[in-house]
């Protein structure tokens, strides 16, 4: 794939090619741990990919072979969150989690090496995870004085079941790629040197399918777990499709033309 740079950032790399956007956390010296700036940049790149009508799928990955992401940068952790460099402590990764979840385009985690802590939660929240054989998964929160009781806990339990989720969080063990595959944490495991090739293959298969169908399916699968926020997302697609119909447009046209709407020609479907 001939990746073309799509923006200048400090903590991430951002590329596009063939309808795919790729966001790469670029802090390999800290195993791709994120700080508030990293998260702000990922949010900006994801927003750009979401708004780009040429883009149908987004890859989230980490620079190098050693780590996808090792979670929050513990070296700049303040007393109330992660220091943004201006003295404000933040947990803005939660905003990025929501953005991945509500992005109407599939987000695929491409994982080589460690996917740990808040980095593990990020891969879980992606629609799909393609893992290299060297991938290692796990939570560390209870060891380092942290936890993610949001999707990090409840969505994990949806993925791997309640018993396994409790094991992962309570014991803070690490799991290899084969174990992750067996418990449903990842979609497939491939040799490290085939990781991007395989991920792009999955992207191309998605891109060959109906974007509207995929968009609605993502919202529907989210809605099952996400309560009223999930229903809002799903219903937003119904509103969009209705706006796209002649029936919906008749209401708008009538208002703009200062006349009564005439919905009589539209079928009352069974
Ligand atoms: C990731 C892991 C297992 C890798 O181990 P290894 O042996 O391959 O590398 P090493 O030597 O530990 O790490 C290499 C360098 O990266 C830094 C290390 O400190 C080291 O640098 P030096 O000290 O040698 O200069 N590094 C690695 N991870 C870092 C991190 N997260 N923050 C800052 N520096 C980091 C191993 O490194 C590890 O266990 N890392 C810590 C994982 C962790 O506990 N993450 C935080 C979990 S809490 C969280 O993410 C979170 C949350 O729970 C809720 C909300 C938001 C965030």
- Tens of pLDDT, residue by residue over 204-254, are 999 999 999 999 999 999 999 999 999 999 999 999 999 999 999 999 999
132: CB partners within 8 A, 6+ apart = 65, 111, 112, 113, 177, 189, 190, 191, 192, 195
Complete DSSP assignment for 54-102:
T--EEEEEESSSSEEE--B-GGGB-SSSEE-SSS-EE-THHHHHHHHHH
The residues facing 23 across adjacent strands are 14, 60
**Long-range contacts for 155-160 (Cβ within 8 Å, ≥24 apart)?**
155/124, 155/125, 155/225, 156/121, 156/124, 158/225, 159/124, 159/183, 159/184, 159/185, 160/184, 160/185
Check if 74 has its Cβ closer than 6 Å to any atom of ligand 1: yes
Centre of ligand 1 to C-alpha 144, Å, is 10
141 is in an annotated binding site: yes
Closest ligand 1 atom, CA of 136? 3
Most informative mutation of 117, 123, 143, 175 for ligand 1 (most atoms within 8 A of CB): 117
CA 15 to mean position of chain CA atoms: 16
ipTM over the 0.95 cut-off: yes
Average pLDDT over residues 69-78: 98
**258 belongs to an annotated ligand binding site:** yes
Residue 243 annotated as binding site: yes
Query: Over the chain, what is the mean pLDDT?
Result: 98
85-90 LR contacts (CB < 8 Å, sep 24+): 85/35, 85/36, 85/37, 88/36, 90/36, 90/39
pTM over 0.95: yes
Q: How far does residue 19's CA lie from ligand 1's centre (Å)?
A: 33
Is residue 134 within 6 Å of ligand 1 at its C-beta? Answer: no
Ligand 1 centroid, distance to 70 Cα (angstroms): 5
Give Cα 117 to chain centroid, integer Å.
Answer: 16
Residue 139: CB within 6 Å of ligand 1? no
How many alpha carbons fall within 13 Å on the CB side of residue 4?
6
State what percent of residues in the chain have pLDDT above 90. Answer: 100
Answer yes or no: is the C-beta of 82 below 6 A from any ligand 1 atom: no
CA 44 – CA 50 distance, rounded (Å): 10
Predicted confidence band at 262 (pLDDT cuts at 50, 70, 90)? very high
pLDDT, tens only, 74-128: 999 999 999 999 999 999 999 999 999 999 999 999 999 999 999 999 999 999 9
Q: Is 95 annotated as a binding residue?
A: no
Is residue 11 within 8 A of residue 46, CB to CB? The reply is: no
What end-to-end distance do the CA atoms of the chain give, in Å?
47
């Amino acid at each position: 794939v001939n990746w073309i740079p799509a923006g200048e950032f400090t903590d991430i790399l951002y590329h596009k090619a063939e309808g795919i956007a790729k966001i790469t956390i670029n802090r390999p010296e800290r195993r791709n741990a994120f700080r508030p700036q990293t998260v702000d940049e990922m949010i900006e790149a994801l927003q750009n990919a979401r708004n780009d009508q040429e883009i149908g799928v987004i890859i989230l990955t980490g620079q190098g072979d050693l780590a996808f992401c090792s979670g929050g940068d513990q070296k700049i952790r303040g007393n109330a969150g992660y220091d943004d460099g201006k003295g404000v402590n933040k947990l803005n990764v939660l905003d990025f989690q929501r953005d991945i979840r509500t992005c109407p385009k599939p987000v695929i985690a491409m994982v080589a090496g460690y996917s740990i802590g808040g980095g593990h939660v990020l891969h879980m929240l992606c629609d799909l995870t393609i893992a290299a054989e060297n991938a290692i998964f796990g939570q560390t929160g209870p060891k380092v004085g942290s936890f993610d009781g949001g999707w990090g806990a409840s969505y994990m339990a949806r993925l791997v079941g309640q018993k396994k989720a409790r094991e992962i969080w309570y014991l803070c063990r690490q799991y290899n790629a084969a174990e992750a595959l067996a418990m449903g944490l990842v979609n497939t495991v491939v040799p490290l040197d085939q990781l991007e090739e395989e991920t792009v293959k999955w992207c191309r298969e998605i891109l060959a399918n109906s974007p509207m169908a995929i968009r609605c399916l993502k919202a529907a699968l989210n809605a099952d777990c996400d309560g009223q926020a999930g229903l809002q997302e799903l219903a937003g697609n119904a509103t969009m499709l209705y706006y796209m119909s002649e029936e919906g447009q008749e209401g708008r046209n009538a208002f703009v033309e200062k006349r009564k709407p005439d919905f009589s020609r539209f079928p009352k479907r069974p």
